[in-house]
């Protein structure tokens, strides 16, 4: 990071050598890089990511504390949309495989995976504005932050890509399960197709989706900065991008470490959850 030309201080307008020296001293930037790094590590071990170089009197912890909940809320809502939608669409596509509805859904999946989220964001905003205009009152706010209503559209837009991916995953997984021997056994027992679906197919079919949930949570809560920008949401993603542009070392480092820890935490959480769904994975109890 330090190899990138420039530094956090030079971003501001011209300043005299003295002021610059003083600032460097204040933030410890006059020290050798290795020393700075050791210092950073020491602080981090105590849970302190340091203070921002570019935002007056704000510590990185402070930034995380006040903006991460926003991103997390948005991400979790997006995840709910993505999972519910993915499971539902994937199931429908599998049930009607080869038919028109399957092909339509799979077309949607390709769109969802390949079209970037800012296009959906802009489209969504456009549609919503038109709708609001048409009905003459605000059904849903187009941008901004505050209530759950503000979250709905951005969360949907944010979750679309993941939903598309999960739809495809669910579909292929179900199609595999349907041909398994134990489904034939269930038929031979005289169960009706409704029961076979809910008791046998769904639970086995959903396993890959659950596996993907951990990375998906991390991706959705941390990767939303495009959506956050378009909808003017004060999430953490925005600060990350800003910090990178301004070479705000402590913020970049702090957020990277935080995101990493969060990803690991979520994957572990999902692994534990997985044990409840798939008995083969659960910890040896005996």
Binding positions for another protein, rule: CB under 8 A: 180-182, 184-193, 195, 199-200, 203-204, 207, 277-280
* Smallest separation (angstroms) from another protein to the CB of 209: 14
Minimum CB distance to another protein smaller for 76 or for 207: 207
Instruction: Kindly write down the DSSP assignment for every residue of 110-132, as one continuous string.
Output: HHHHHS-HHHHHHHHHHHHHHHH
| Listed residue (73, 78, 72) closest to 165, CA to CA | 78
Q: How far apart are CA 92 and CA 98, in angstroms?
A: 11
Minimum CB distance to another protein smaller for 39 or for 182: 182
* Smallest separation (angstroms) from another protein to the CB of 90: 18
* Smallest separation (angstroms) from another protein to the CB of 229: 42
Minimum CB distance to another protein smaller for 6 or for 190: 190
Calculated CA dihedral for residues 78, 80, 83, 88, nearest 10 degrees: -110
3-class DSSP assignment, residue 39: helix
Q: How far apart are CA 236 and CA 251, in angstroms?
A: 11
Minimum CB distance to another protein smaller for 13 or for 280: 280
* Smallest separation (angstroms) from another protein to the CB of 52: 49
Minimum CB distance to another protein smaller for 133 or for 203: 203
* Smallest separation (angstroms) from another protein to the CB of 179: 9
Q: Are 212 and 169 in contact (CB under 8 A)?
A: yes
């Amino acid at each position: 990071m330090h190899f990138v030309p420039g530094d956090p201080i030079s971003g501001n307008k011209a300043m005299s050598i003295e002021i610059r020296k003083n600032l460097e001293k204040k933030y410890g930037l006059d020290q050798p890089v290795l020393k700075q790094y050791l210092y950073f590590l020491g602080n981090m071990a105590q849970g302190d990511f340091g203070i921002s170089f570019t935002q007056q009197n704000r510590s990185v912890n402070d930034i995380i504390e006040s903006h991460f909940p926003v991103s997390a809320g948005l991400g979790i809502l997006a995840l709910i949309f993505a999972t519910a939608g993915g499971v539902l669409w994937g199931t429908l596509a599998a049930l009607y495989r080869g038919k028109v509805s399957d092909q339509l859904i799979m077309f949607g999946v390709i769109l969802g995976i390949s079209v970037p989220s800012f296009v959906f964001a802009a489209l969504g905003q456009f549609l919503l504005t038109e709708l609001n205009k048409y009905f003459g009152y605000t059904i849903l706010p187009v941008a901004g932050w505050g209530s759950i209503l503000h979250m709905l559209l951005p969360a949907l837009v944010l979750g679309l890509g993941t939903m598309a991916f999960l739809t495809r995953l669910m579909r292929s997984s179900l199609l595999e399960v349907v041909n398994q021997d134990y489904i034939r056994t269930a038929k031979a027992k005289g169960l009706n197709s409704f029961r076979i679906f809910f008791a046998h197919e769904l639970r086995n079919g959903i396993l890959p989706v659950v596996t993907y949930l951990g990375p998906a949570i991390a991706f959705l809560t941390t990767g939303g900065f495009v959506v956050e920008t378009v909808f003017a949401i004060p999430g953490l993603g925005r600060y990350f991008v800003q910090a990178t542009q301004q070479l705000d070392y402590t913020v970049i480092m702090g957020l990277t470490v935080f995101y990493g820890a969060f990803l690991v935490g979520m994957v572990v959480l999902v692994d534990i959850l997985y044990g409840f769904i798939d008995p083969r994975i659960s910890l040896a109890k005996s």
